[in-house]
Structure 1
């Protein structure tokens, strides 16, 4: 698919992402997108969504974004680059999914996964970057849900520029500093704490 074909498929003439709501103002779309996906994320946390495998990554993206984009949850079949970073070509997705599945299997059989394991998974999912938009939010929620099933809660140190640089450079040492893991007494309490954090983030953005 050529660059022109991709633009025609995904963008309005003014550069705003095509969406189901036909919002053509980038700022308005960003606001609606954030509120919608944030509330959907809280719902998943409150209902204790269980991560079973990489298929859940696509399911979470679809749940977060299906009210906004008709391609939600669909892995791309085209090349993607953003901010000077080339993400994984779709021809390599099968190999990447196999690698990520191995990481998930290791984490799922570990009683208390480490920050290093979560950082490695974050790096792998970021390079995969299977969706046109919403990869970062889906990745953070996916890892949060995975952690809560291990009675852990993750705090992300939102230093966006530094994090993006670390991700672009696959700097795992810096990524580990981005993630703080708190041990919780039980699984339900972990989900509740993660949901509260998500709600607080929504309130901060909306006021």
Structure 2
């Protein structure tokens, strides 16, 4: 798919993401998206949603963003790069999903997963980057729900530029600094 085809598929002529509400002002869309996603995330966290596999990753994305975007929850079928970072080609998604499902099985078998295991999961999900938008928020919620199943919660140390650099470099040591695991019990 060419860049022009992708722009036509996903963007209004002014560059705002096409959406179900037909909001064509980027700032308004951003505000509405933030409110909807925050509300949906809080609802999920309060209802004990249990992560079992990568199928849940797509379901989470659809739940968070589905009221706004018709493509929510659908893995992309095109190449994606942002900020100088190339993400996984869609031809490799099956292998990545198998790898992440194995990570989830390993984590699920433990009483208390480690910061390193969460950092590895974060890194794997970030490189996969299966959606046009909303990957980071979906990833953080996905990992938070995995942790909740183990009576843990994740406190993400907000260092956005440092985290993005660490993710782009797959620097697990730096990612571990970004994640603080707290036990609920």
TM-score past 0.5 threshold: yes
Aligned to 1:184: 184
Cα deviation for residue 158 of structure 1 reads 1.2
Q: Superposition pairs for residues 141-152 of structure 1, below 5 Å?
A: 141-152=141-152
Asked if residue 63 in structure 1 is aligned to residue 66 in structure 2, the reply is: no
Q: What TM-score do the two structures reach when normalised by structure 2?
A: 0.99
Q: Superposition pairs for residues 2-151 of structure 1, below 5 Å?
A: 2-151=2-151
CA distance in 1, matches of 2:150, 2:36: 27
CA deviation map 1:4-44 (0-9, x unaligned): 10000000111110001111111111111011000000000
Higher relative contact order (CA 8 A, sep 6+): 1
CA distance in 2, matches of 1:162, 1:29: 27
CA distance in 1, matches of 2:15, 2:159: 27
Structure 2 segments unaligned to the other structure (5+ residues): none
CA RMSD of aligned residues (A): 0.5
Write out the 4+ residue segments of structure 1 that deviate beyond 3 Å after TM superposition: none
CA deviation map 1:19-74 (0-9, x unaligned): 01111111111111011000000000110001111100000000000000000000
CA distance in 2, matches of 1:15, 1:50: 36
Q: What TM-score do the two structures reach when normalised by structure 1?
A: 0.89
CA distance in 1, matches of 2:109, 2:47: 22
Cα deviation for residue 184 of structure 1 reads 1.0
CA deviation map 1:147-197 (0-9, x unaligned): 000000110011111110100010000000000000111xxxxxxxxxxxx
